[in-house]
A and B are shown apart, each in its own frame.
Chain A
Amino acid sequence: MKHLRWTIGLLAIFALVAVSCGGNDDSGGSAPAAAPTEAPDDSMDESGGTADDMDDSMGDDSMDDSMGDDMDDSMGDDSMDDSMGDDMGDDSMDDEMDDSMDDEMDESDAEPVATEEPEVDPCEAVDLEATDIGITSDTITVLVMADVGSPLAPGLFQGSIDGVKAWANQVNSEGGLACRQIEVLEHDSAINPTETTNGFLVACEEAFALVGTTALFALDTTDLQSCADAQGNEIGVPDFAYITTEPPHQCSVVTFATSRPNSECPYAGTGDRAVQSQVGHVQYLLENVSSELNGVYLIPSDLPSTIATSMPQVRAFQEIGVVIDGEPGISGFTTQSEYGAFIQIMRDNTSNFAYSGSDDQSMIKWRSEAEAQGLDADSVIWMCQLACYTPSFLEAGDVIENTYIWIWFLPFDEADTNQELADFMEAIDDPFPPAWAAGSWADGVLFEQVVNEIVAESGPNALTRQAVLDGARNLTSFDVNGWWSPADYSTTENIMPCFMLMQVQNNEFVRVHPAERGELDCNPDNVVGLTRDWGAEFGG
C-alpha cells in the first residue's frame, strides 16, 4: 500500500508537470550566452575604420588619444569599492597628444553632431514612426535602473535616477531627442541580483535603452544581451551604464559604461587579465612633491571585484617606482582602531605615502586613527580617489586636511569653464551632487550623442536598437562635451588617460594639477597596462 501511494503520487505529479510545461515562455532571456559574445569581436574589428571617421567628424586629433577612467565606488560601510578604467589601444594612441586638453577642444567637443547640420529640420521632413520597442512617434522611453530600495541601504544610488531625470528634462526642454520627447522609467535593482535581472527584462519589454544603470549586482546579463528587438532579432538592449562592477556586466556586449571597465573582455572569471590603470596623479607627486614614495595601499576586500580592480593600480604604482610597504585588505566591518595595524606598518617602514582604494569613510577612519596614534600626519602624503570627493568627507574637518584626491572630470565648482557641467549643475539643483548623478547624466549625454549621429546620418526613423548599438560600439571618443576625460567605447580594455588632482585645504577641495581651471592632464604616460591574475595578487 505504501509503495502504491508513492508511485501514484509521483506518476500524478509527473503527469501534471508534463501538462503544465507545454506553454510558451514569454521571456526573451533564453538565448544562449555564446551568441552575444561574438558581437564585440565584430564591432571591435570594425572600430578601427570607424574611429578614423569619428576623428574627422570631431575635428580634433587629440580626441582619439587614449582615454581612461578609474572610478571608485563605495557603498557605505560595506566598503564597496571598484576601480574601473578603460584605455584605447596603442593603435589609436596619438604620440603628439598635448599634456592637457585645451579649452578650444572642449568647446568643439561640446557640439553634438546633430547640431552641425541643422539646415533642414529632420522632424518636419518625415512622418515619425514607432521604429523599435520603446519608441513611438512621440516618445523615446528609457529605463534608469539603480540600487535604491534595499531595506538596509535605502536611497543608495538615488542620485543616478535624479541624474537621468535631470538630463531628460533638459533634453525635452530643448525640443527632445530624435524629434521625440524622452520618457524615463525607473527600476530599483535593490542591491539584489534578481531585481537587477528584472530591470533588464523590463527594459527589454518596455524601453528603448537603459540609461544611467548603477547596479552593483548585475551578475547575469544574458537577458540584457539576448533581448529581442521589434523585428525579433535577439540583439540585446543598449545599456548606457555608469558602473559595471561584475565581469558579466563589464563584458556585456551591449553595455557602454561611462566609468570604463579598463579590463580585458571576454574574461573567463579566473586567470590572467589585461587591465590598464591610471597613475598620472602619483607620477605628479613623484615629480613635484617627493621623488621617493613608499607606503601603504588599502585594498577594499569585501568582494572579489573590488580586489580585482584595486590590485592593478597597486602594481601600476610599483611599476612607476612607488615602494609598497603593505597592501592590507579592509572590510566594511573593520573598526577604526583596527586601522592601528596599518599605522604600525607605516611606522615600521617610515612610510610617506598612504593610498586608500576604498571610500571616504575608510580614509577618515585611517587618518583619525593616525592622529589618535600620534603619527606625524604631515610627513605622509595621503591620497584617495573619486570616492572621497564628497561633502561628507569634508565634514570630517581638520583630520582630513591635505588629503589628495584625483578625479577624471572637471570638478563641480568649475561650472563656469564647461557648458555641459554648467547645464548639469543647474538641472540637478544640488551644490554638491553625488558622483553617480554626474555619471548618469554623462550616460544620458552619451546616449544623446549616439542618437543624434544616427538622426543626422539617416533621419529620425532610422532609430533602432541595432543602430544605437552599432553607433556606440563604433564610438572611439566621447568626453561628455569636454567635461570628462575622453573615452573609447569600442573596447573595454582601455582607460581614460586624463585626470585632475585636488587637495583638501582649509576644508575645501582645492585644484592642484593642472593649475588652470577647466583643464585635465591627459598625458599618455598616465596609463600603465599590466596582465596578471589579479585575484591571486592580493596578499590579504
Chain B
Amino acid sequence: MIFGVRHSVAVAAALGTLAAVIIAVLTWKGAPVTSETFLVTTYIGLFLGALWAMYATGLVVVYTTTGVFNFAQGAIGVFAAFLYWELHVNRDWHSILALFVVVGLFAPALGVVLDILIMRRLRTASLVVQLMVTVAIMVLLLSVVGDIWEADTPRRVPYLFGINNGIDLGPSQLPWHRLIVFVVAIAIAVSMRFLLRRTRIGTAMRAVVDNRELAALNGARPNVVSSTSWALGSMMGALGGILIAPELGLDPATLNNVVIIAFAAAAFGALRNLPLAVVGAMLIGLLRAHTGAWLDFGPDFRFAHLSIAPLLLLFVVIALPQARLEVGRLAHHLRRHERYTKWWEGLLGCGVVILLAAAFSGGWLDFGGWDPGAWGSRELNSANEAMALALIGLSLVPLIGWAGQINFAPLAFAGFGAFVYLKLAGDTGNGYWILMVGLLCAPLGAIVALPAARLRGLYLALMTMAFAQAMSLIFFPHPWVMPIIGTGRQFPHIDLFGITFDDRRGFFMLMVSVFAIFVYALVLLRRSRYGRRWMAINDSQAAAATLGVPVVWTKVVVYAVSASMAGIAGVFWATVSGNVDSVQGFDLLLGFNIVLLVAAAGVSIPMAGIFLIFIPLFKGFGLRLEDAGNVDFLVTLLDIMTTYGPGLMVLGMVFNPRGAIFEMGRGFSPILPWRSDARAEIAAENAQKREPEIGELGLERPFTPEEVIAIDRRLEILDDVVPKEGYGTSRS
C-alpha cells in the first residue's frame, strides 16, 4: 500500500499520468493559457461532467440495488428527451409540466414496467443473458423512437433554465443553466447516497440484491424494492437525457452513445460507489474540455479527444481488484445440459449446411413454392454480408459460449484481421495470406486476454466494450489503416487454389465452406480434453484450477483462437464490401448487434452463427413479396420483424436463456434415429410435467415419496433415472 492505495492502482495511476503528460507535450496546440480561458474551460468540463454524472448515478443505483448493469440507461434518456420535446416543443406544454410528466410519471412507470415484465425474470439468469437483455431493450427503445419521431427533421430541445444569463466571469459568463445542472447533479448523487446508506428502504435495496430470500425474511418486500430501484434509475436516465439533449441535439444514436461515458464514470466508482462515480464523470468532463482547448491531435487521430472515456474505462477496469469468485452461483453450472456432438454428426451437419447453401444459392431446390432460382445478385450480396457476419459471430462461440468470457469486441478483431490482410496481400487478393491473418490476430487476442485473465463477468464486458470503442476511435480512423481508394476495390476478390472468387455465388460457397470447417473444428475441439478445459473455467475457475487447469493460459488460448477466427472472418467481411469505411465498418454498435444475435441464437452452439443468415433471407423475402404486390400487410409484418425482430428475439432469452438454435435442436433431435437419448430426455420432461406440485415444502405435512423424487429431480441430484423404462420405475 502507498498512502493507503494499493500498489497496482498507484502504479497504474502513475503510468497513466505520465502517459497523459507525454501526450500533452507532443500535441500541445500552443494557444495562450490565461486565467480566463482556464476558468471557462474548467467550468465547461465540470458542467459536462455533471451531465454524465446523472447518467452514471442512475447506473450505479440500479446496479447496486438490482445487480443488473443497465445498458439501456442511455436509451431511456433518449426516449425521455424525445417525449419531452414532443410535449414541450411540439405540443407547447410548459417546460415544468412536461418535465414532471416525463421524469415524474413516465420514467418511473417505464422502470416499473421493465422490472415487472423483464428484469425480475433475470434474477437468476447468467450475466450473458442479463447483459444481452438490457442491450435488447436499448435496441428496441431506439427503434421505437426512430419509428415515432422520424429523423429527417432535426430537432432541438431548449435549455431548461435559459442559457443567456449568468454569473459574470470577466469577458465570459457562467450561465445559470449550467450552474443549476451542476448543483442538481451533485444533489442527486448526494441524496441517492443518503437514500442507499441512511434509510430503511436503501438498506432494503442493497440487502435484496445480496440475498433476496434473507431480505424477505427480514421484512423487506423484494418486488417493491426492485421496482423502486428501476423507477429511480429510469428517472435519472430520463433527467439526464433531457438535460443532455440541448447540448447534443435530438439524435438517438448520438444521445445514446453518451452512455458509454457514463459507463466509464460508473466504473471509476467500481459500479457501486456513487461519490467516486461522480468524481469519474467530472474527471472525464474536465479532460475532454481541456483536451479540446489545448491539444491538437492532427488528422491521424482526429477522434482522440472522444476516446478519453473508453480509455479511462479500459484503464479503470484493468486497475480494479481481481474479481471475486462467484461461488454462490456454482450450483447453476454444476450440471451441463449440452450433449457433445459426435464427430460424424458434426461432419454430417456441415455437409448438410453446405448442400443446403449450394441448393439455395444455386436455385436447385424449391423452398415452399418460392422459387429460389429467382435469387439475384442482390440476394447473394446480402447473403454474403450475412455469411461474413456469421463467421464473425462464430468466433464468439468458444469465447463466450464455452469459456464464458464476454466479448463485445468481435468487430475490433475482425477489423484488425482485415487491416493485416490489406497490408499483407495488398491488391493481389492472394487468399493464402488469410492463414497468416489468423496467426497474426491470435497475439492481439492474447494481449486482450491478459487483463481479461483477472477480470470476470461485467468488468470483462466493459473492458472489451472499451477496447472496441478505443479501436474504432483511434486505430481504424487512422488514414494509413484502410484508406478508401478512388477506383476499383480496396479489397480485391480472393484468389485461392488457383480460383479467383469474383462471382458472388462462388464467394458465398467459399465462406460457407470456411464456416463449415470452423464449425467442424469446434465440434472436435469441444469433444477434446482441451475444449473441456474451456468449459471448466466457465463452470468454476476455482474448481478448474484445483484440477490442474492453468486458468490464465487457458483464457489466453481461447482469446487467441477467437481473435484468430474473427480476424479471418474480417477478411471476408471486408472483401464482401470491396471498399470498407473503417470508421463505420467496424463500429461498436454493429459489434453489439452481432453479439446480440448470436446470443439469441444460442452462443454455446457452433451453428448459432448461421442464424445471422436469416436476416437477409427475411429481407429478400420481403423484397420478393413487395415485387409480387398486393401483400402489403405481409411486407409490413416483415418490416416490423426486421426492425424489432432481433431485439425481441433477444428478449426471448428471458424464457429460453440457451437460445433459439438450442431449443430448435432439442425439438429436432428426437426425430433422428440414433438420438434415443433425446427421446428419453423428452419423455422424462413430459413425465416431470405430470408430477404433482411440491406444494408447501413439507411445512404442513410430510413429503410423499413422489415429492421427494420430484425435489431430487428439481435439485438435479438424481442423474441416474433410466427414463426409457418410465419415470421412477428403475433407479440405481
Tell whether A16 pairs with B358 under 8 Å between CB atoms, given A78-B253, A152-B142. Answer: yes
B487: A residues at CB distance < 8 A? 33, 37, 247-248, 251, 265-268
Tell whether A5 pairs with B524 under 8 Å between CB atoms, given A20-B509, A269-B486, A340-B44. Answer: yes
A539: B residues at CB distance < 8 A? 296, 298-299
Contact A540 B382 (CB under 8 A): no
Question: How far does the Cβ of A12 sit from chain B's closest Cβ, in whole Å?
Answer: 6
Size class of the contact patch on chain B: 35 or more
A69 and B513 CA atoms in complex are apart in Å by 49
Task: Output the residue of A21, A158, A307 with the most chain B CB within 10 A.
Answer: A21
In the assembled complex, A320 has its CB within 8 A of some CB on chain B = no
Interface 9-residue window, one of B15-23, B108-116, B349-357, B698-706: B349-357
Question: How far does the Cβ of B450 sit from chain A's closest Cβ, in whole Å?
Answer: 30
In the assembled complex, A285 has its CB within 8 A of some CB on chain B = no
A96 and B442 CA atoms in complex are apart in Å by 66
Contact A201 B584 (CB under 8 A): no
Tell whether A365 pairs with B355 under 8 Å between CB atoms, given A193-B581, A371-B164. Answer: no
A24: B residues at CB distance < 8 A? 503, 505
Contact B163 A371 (CB under 8 A): yes
A193 and B580 CA atoms in complex are apart in Å by 8
Contact A540 B302 (CB under 8 A): yes
Q: Mark A363-374, 1 if CB is under 8 A from B, else 0.
A: 011001001111
Contact B172 A374 (CB under 8 A): yes
A77 and B81 CA atoms in complex are apart in Å by 15
Contact A331 B303 (CB under 8 A): yes
Tell whether A21 pairs with B509 under 8 Å between CB atoms, given A9-B347, A77-B254. Answer: yes
**Which residue of the partner chain B has the closest CB to A332?**
B254
B381: A residues at CB distance < 8 A? 27, 194, 197-198, 201
B258: A residues at CB distance < 8 A? 333
A335: B residues at CB distance < 8 A? 48, 244, 247-248
**Among residues 2 to 48 in chain A, which have CB atoms less than 8 Å away from a CB atom of chain B?**
2, 5-6, 8-10, 12-14, 16-17, 19-21, 23-30, 33-34, 37
Contact B44 A337 (CB under 8 A): yes
In the assembled complex, B520 has its CB within 8 A of some CB on chain A = yes
In the assembled complex, A66 has its CB within 8 A of some CB on chain B = no
Tell whether A304 pairs with B484 under 8 Å between CB atoms, given A16-B354, A77-B249, A333-B257. Answer: yes
**Among residues 494 to 541 in chain B, which have CB atoms less than 8 Å away from a CB atom of chain A?**
499, 502-506, 509-510, 512-513, 516-517, 520, 524, 528
Q: Mark A299-322, 1 if CB is under 8 A from B, else 0.
A: 001111101000000000000000
Tell whether A21 pairs with B499 under 8 Å between CB atoms, given A77-B254, A202-B378, A331-B306. Answer: yes
In the assembled complex, A348 has its CB within 8 A of some CB on chain B = yes
Question: How far does the Cβ of B361 sit from chain A's closest Cβ, in whole Å?
Answer: 8
B248: A residues at CB distance < 8 A? 77, 333, 335-336
Task: Output the residue of A77, A156, A434 with the most chain B CB within 10 A.
Answer: A77
Contact A77 B509 (CB under 8 A): no
How many pairs of A and B residues are in contact by the CB < 8 Å rule? 309
A361 and B250 CA atoms in complex are apart in Å by 10
Q: Mark A226-252, 1 if CB is under 8 A from B, else 0.
A: 000000000000000000001110110
**Which residue of the partner chain B has the closest CB to A303?**
B583
Contact B355 A16 (CB under 8 A): yes
Tell whether A25 pairs with B299 under 8 Å between CB atoms, given A303-B583, A396-B156. Answer: no
Tell whether A13 pairs with B299 under 8 Å between CB atoms, given A154-B146, A156-B152, A333-B254. Answer: no
In the assembled complex, B292 has its CB within 8 A of some CB on chain A = yes
Tell whether A395 pairs with B156 under 8 Å between CB atoms, given A335-B248, A338-B48, A540-B301. Answer: yes
**Which residue of the partner chain A has the closest CB to B359?**
A20
A19: B residues at CB distance < 8 A? 358
Contact B146 A153 (CB under 8 A): yes
A13: B residues at CB distance < 8 A? 350-351, 354, 513, 516-517, 520
Interface 9-residue window, one of A215-223, A450-458, A501-509: A215-223
A21 and B502 CA atoms in complex are apart in Å by 12
Contact B303 A247 (CB under 8 A): no
A155: B residues at CB distance < 8 A? 150-152
Q: Mark A187-210, 1 if CB is under 8 A from B, else 0.
A: 000000110011001101100000
Question: How far does the Cβ of A224 sit from chain B's closest Cβ, in whole Å?
Answer: 11
In the assembled complex, B297 has its CB within 8 A of some CB on chain A = yes
In the assembled complex, A360 has its CB within 8 A of some CB on chain B = yes
Q: Mark B28-45, 1 if CB is under 8 A from A, else 0.
A: 000110000100110010
Tell whether A76 pairs with B32 under 8 Å between CB atoms, given A8-B347, A540-B301. Answer: no
A193: B residues at CB distance < 8 A? 577, 579-581, 584-585
Contact A540 B488 (CB under 8 A): no
Question: How far does the Cβ of A534 sit from chain B's closest Cβ, in whole Å?
Answer: 9
Contact B298 A220 (CB under 8 A): no
B499: A residues at CB distance < 8 A? 21
Q: Mark A387-405, 1 if CB is under 8 A from B, else 0.
A: 0001010011000000000
Question: How far does the Cβ of B407 sit from chain A's closest Cβ, in whole Å?
Answer: 23
B676: A residues at CB distance < 8 A? none
A197 and B41 CA atoms in complex are apart in Å by 45
Contact A368 B163 (CB under 8 A): yes
In the assembled complex, B451 has its CB within 8 A of some CB on chain A = no
In the assembled complex, A536 has its CB within 8 A of some CB on chain B = yes
**Among residues 67 to 98 in chain A, which have CB atoms less than 8 Å away from a CB atom of chain B?**
76-78
Contact A219 B41 (CB under 8 A): no
A250 and B487 CA atoms in complex are apart in Å by 9
A332 and B583 CA atoms in complex are apart in Å by 14
A19 and B166 CA atoms in complex are apart in Å by 76
In the assembled complex, A329 has its CB within 8 A of some CB on chain B = yes
A10: B residues at CB distance < 8 A? 517
A344 and B32 CA atoms in complex are apart in Å by 10
Question: How far does the Cβ of A28 sit from chain B's closest Cβ, in whole Å?
Answer: 7
**Which residue of the partner chain B has the closest CB to A434?**
B152
In the assembled complex, B443 has its CB within 8 A of some CB on chain A = no
B41: A residues at CB distance < 8 A? 340-341, 344
Contact B506 A540 (CB under 8 A): no
Q: Mark B396-431, 1 if CB is under 8 A from A, else 0.
A: 000000000000000000000000000000000000
In the assembled complex, B368 has its CB within 8 A of some CB on chain A = no
Question: How far does the Cβ of B79 sit from chain A's closest Cβ, in whole Å?
Answer: 13
Contact A248 B44 (CB under 8 A): no
Question: How far does the Cβ of A238 sit from chain B's closest Cβ, in whole Å?
Answer: 18
Q: Which listed residue, B247, B377, B513, touches A336 by the CB 8 Å rule?
A: B247
A202 and B37 CA atoms in complex are apart in Å by 56
Contact A247 B486 (CB under 8 A): yes
In the assembled complex, B289 has its CB within 8 A of some CB on chain A = yes
Beyond A17-B510, A25-B377, A374-B172: 4 further Cβ-contacts under 8 Å? A5-B343, A222-B488, A304-B583, A392-B155
A-B contact pairs, 25 of them (CB 8 A): A13-B516, A16-B351, A17-B509, A20-B512, A26-B375, A29-B504, A77-B248, A154-B151, A156-B152, A193-B577, A219-B484, A219-B579, A304-B483, A307-B299, A329-B302, A333-B306, A335-B48, A337-B289, A344-B31, A361-B156, A364-B156, A392-B153, A392-B156, A395-B156, A540-B299
- A-B pairs, 7 with minimum CB distance: A25-B503, A267-B486, A77-B251, A33-B488, A220-B578, A27-B377, A20-B358
